Structure 1
Amino acid sequence: MKPDVFIAATLRKRTPDYDTSWAPLVIGLGPGIEAGKHAHVVIETKRGHYLGRLIHQGEAIANTGIPGSIGGVDKDRVLRAPQAGVTRNLHGIGDLVAAGDVILTVDGQPVKTLIPGVVRGLIADGFNVKKGQKLGDVDPRGDADYTRTISDKGRTIAGGVLESILAHFAKQNI
């Protein structure tokens, strides 16, 4: 069965394994996806003026490797694997943590947060990871409610997806 709309929302940041033949409307989120080749529409995911923009030709802004600033903190809020191995979580999403706390381990090697805040994202326990892989992030604003609601970034990207779907089906009815 072929869907009417296929949304690739994995934010893999590498060349996708799907293309426009997968559905009448294929929507891709973020860098590494080319509109017209991999997707009919690409949605910009980089924070800033163009967040949520529909791209009908070309690609989203390239991945810089530096996350958007939240509360004045960017790369220091990200948790990365110190080595390849299997994760063991010591904290969960929504936990309040202090700078220096061990959030998880990778084959016994501790992964510490550099900043105080709330664990906002975290890879699944028992997951096999590569050295340097992003494992999660800590929100320096320290509000656990933010982990249970849609962020401004998520809401804007979702709005771009909805706009794309509505525009696609409106064209069919003209």
Structure 2
Amino acid sequence: MAMARELVVIKGAGDLASGVAHRLHRAGFPVIMTEIPRPMVIRRAVAFAEAVYNDTVTVEGVTARLVPSPDAALAATGRGEIAVLVDPRAEVISALKPQVVVDAILAKTNLGTRIHHAPIVIALGPGFKAGRDAHAVIETKRGHYLGRVIWEGEAAANTGIPGEVMGYAAERVLRAPAEGIFKGCRAIGDVVTAGETVATINGVPMKAGISGVLRGLLHDGLKVTPGMKAGDVDPRGERDYCFTISDKARAIAGGVLEAILYLLERLK
């Protein structure tokens, strides 16, 4: 079967965006991702944004590489890699004119994506209206409609409350207790106990609220503010979950792939 070759630009390279990129790459689409100079990603072990810090990162057999320019990005995709560009304004879109643009920043608001940016524009989560801001919107809220393609209207509004895992919701999230520079004391994948210090912010301890496996933690050296999300504890205790794409990301990725294939057929 012939491979699809329509170029896809994904805005954002966090864990959900990376789940989308991974599936599209496996399906044969060349993928370029854009990021900010200092990504604030929690689930770093499964986020292609880590390439910004480490030049390359591999998630479930797929490698992403930090590149300096749109031309270098195309070259990387030609070598079978996902390209990551530090490009906060996603100027690569006007430079390369991709067939598909996916806004996967998950900012809960539209930071500048427009339906005319590409023949196919898809947005993840709340803050976008299908038919106005994008051709399709993908539901990102956990539950019955997770991953659903929305052709008219908007995704469910953000509640600010994380989805429940084993009865824990907000308790799973680690938040910065002070303003300052973040420094981790434990590593992603470590088993932690409730009350244990997992990081410090200018010497102020950030402690786990529950026991489990440390699934996510900010990169050292980032500046944080009080209340900012800085980590995630998984009460299920499965270390492998820290290093593999989540069920949520896979569901959303399936919705994006469905929308792209449907819209490509309509464009024909």
The alignment's TM-score, normalised by the length of structure 1, stands at 0.93
Q: Which moved more, 1:10-19 or 1:153-162?
A: 10-19
Which of 52, 70, 87 is matched with 2:182 structurally?
87
1:58-137 mapped onto 2 (5 Å cutoff): 58-137=153-232
Structure 2 counterpart of 1:144: 239
Do the aligned residues in 2 keep the contact of 1:104 with 1:110 (CA within 8 Å)? yes
Output one character per residue of 1:93-131: Cα deviation in whole Å (capped at 9) or x when no partner.
211111111111222211111101111122221112222
Q: Which moved more, 1:112-121 or 1:78-87?
A: 78-87
Structure 2 counterpart of 1:46: 141
From the superposition, tell whether residues 18 and 119 of structure 1 become closer, same or farther in structure 2 (CA, over 3 Å).
same
Structure 2 counterpart of 1:18: 113
From the superposition, tell whether residues 118 and 32 of structure 1 become closer, same or farther in structure 2 (CA, over 3 Å).
same
Unpaired segments ≥5 residues, structure 1: none
Does residue 29 in structure 1 map to residue 124 in structure 2?
A: yes
Aligned length, in residue pairs: 173
Do the aligned residues in 2 keep the contact of 1:42 with 1:60 (CA within 8 Å)? yes
Structure 2 counterpart of 1:4: 99
Give the Cα–Cα distance (whole angstroms) in 2 for the partners of residues 131 and 95 of structure 1.
24
For the residue of structure 2 that corresponds to 1:159, the secondary structure is: helix
Give the Cα–Cα distance (whole angstroms) in 1 for the partners of residues 131 and 180 of structure 2.
38
Amino acid at match of 1:47: R
Cα distance, 1:34 vs structure 2: 2.3
For the residue of structure 2 that corresponds to 1:71, the secondary structure is: coil
Structure 1 counterpart of 2:59: none
Cα distance, 1:6 vs structure 2: 1.0
From the superposition, tell whether residues 72 and 58 of structure 1 become closer, same or farther in structure 2 (CA, over 3 Å).
same
Give the Cα–Cα distance (whole angstroms) in 2 for the partners of residues 15 and 130 of structure 1.
23
Which of 246, 251, 257 is matched with 1:156 structurally?
251
Amino acid at match of 2:218: I
For the residue of structure 1 that corresponds to 2:216, the secondary structure is: strand
